[in-house]
Amino acid sequence: MKEQVKVGREESATKRTVDVVVLTMNDRDEAFRTAMSSVLAQQGVDLRVVIVGNGVESDYVPDGVQSVTLAVNTGIPEGRNIGAEALAVGDAEFVLFFDNDAVLPDPRTLNELIVEADRHRDAAYVQPRIADPATGETLGRWVPRLRTGDARRSGVVTVMAEGIVLVRRADYAAVGGWPGHFFLFHEGVDLAWRLWDLGRVGWYAGNIEVHHPATNPARHGPFYRMVARNRVWVARRRLPASLVPVYLATWVVISLWRFRSSGNLRVWFRGFAEGLRGGQGERRPMSWRTVWRLTRAGRPPIV
């Protein structure tokens, strides 16, 4: 492990502190280097950056960046937890979770996200607007609300696009981080609901653009199984008992419609059954007050 060094040490007393967690599997060299360059170019902030090699030793670690090597691929949420923990001793104000094929297109992007956090003190996390760098398109799944037509409209949100999100370190620690055993998919729903249950909210900054290629999540082999399994796990972990069957029935109907022509519905239902068999971890349902707050924010926790 490389020695931890602060990036942008000068004038650090006047700068806001941000820990940045990036995962790698050594599978996208050029994109990864571009992503890291965009992070390290950020101005007006005091950064500490860690690269987590998820089952690999990272083949690229810039000067002044810490690295952690994991013997096995623990999945994305647990890799993020481990990265955040590696930087926890510095007591930074924020943690930026950042995909290794994303780009901060301007050296003031991160500072602008902090300005949004300052404007919305009740927000535990701030998510920028994600756009494909080639087309400028913002996919609907990147807009963390039900009405996704105007991707540039900012506002309170109840979920998040996990790949590029700024979280207040104190709130992240208070809820215990990401659900590491999810491995992939829907970990942001679980984390966002726990942050809301603290009495906090999420904020979508549609005016701040970051870049990420518009890839299809179904390219991952376990996509259909894990999205189904983790939907069940989210419900069983976080919802009041009477809402669990409503949430699951809603997502059965939605998934039947979404995946009807994919040829993978049988795989989806196997994942759903796997979730019903258990493995979701600790059950700590949100309060009915949180249910009401989420509903008032435009997204009742059944969809």
**Residue 12 tokens, joined:** 């650090």
Correct CATH for 18-215 of 3.30.365.10, 3.40.50.300, 2.40.30.10, 3.90.550.10: 3.90.550.10
Strands 201-211 and 164-168: unpaired
Tens place of pLDDT per residue across the chain (303 aa): 444 444 443 444 579 999 999 999 999 999 999 999 999 999 999 999 999 999 999 999 999 999 999 999 999 999 999 999 999 988 899 999 999 999 999 999 999 999 999 999 999 999 999 999 999 999 999 999 999 999 999 999 999 999 999 999 999 999 999 999 999 999 999 999 999 999 999 999 999 999 999 988 876 679 999 999 999 999 999 999 999 999 999 999 999 999 998 899 999 999 999 999 999 999 999 999 999 999 999 999 999
Q: Where are the domains of the chain?
A: 18-215, 219-285
Tell me which H or E stretch contains 47.
strand 45-54
Burial 260-276 (b: 16+ CB within 10 A, else e): eeeebbebbbebbebbe
Q: Which of 233, 100, 85, 230 is nearest to 172 (CA)?
A: 85
> Which amino acid would we find at residue 300?
P
pLDDT on residue 13: 52
